[in-house]
Amino acid sequence: MPKVKIGVLISGSGTNLQALIDNIEKGLINGEISIVISDKKDAFGIQRAKKHGINAVEIDKKNFADKNIFMKAIMDELEKHHVELVVLAGFLSILSEDFIEKFRNRIINIHPSLIPAFCGKGYYGQRVHKAALDYGVKVSGATVHFVDEGADTGPIILQEAVKVEDDDTPESLAARILKVEHKLLPQAVKLYCEGRLTIEGRKVIIRTQND
Active site positions, annotated: 111
CA torsion, ordered 135, 137, 143, 145, to nearest 10 deg: -50
Q: Phi and psi (nearest 5°) for 161?
A: -85, 150
User: What separation in angstroms does the CA of 195 have from each of 2, 36, 160?
Assistant: 11, 22, 22
Helices 15-25 and 44-51 sit at what angle, rounded to 10 degrees?
10
Find the helix or strand (DSSP H, E) in which 181 lies: helix 170-193
Q: Kindly state the DSSP code that residue 61 receives in the 8-state scheme.
A: G
Quote the distance between the C-alpha of residue 178 and its chain's center: 12
- Strand segments (E) across the chain: 4-10, 31-38, 56-58, 85-88, 107-111, 139-146, 156-163, 197-200, 203-206
Q: Phi and psi (nearest 5°) for 80?
A: -60, -30
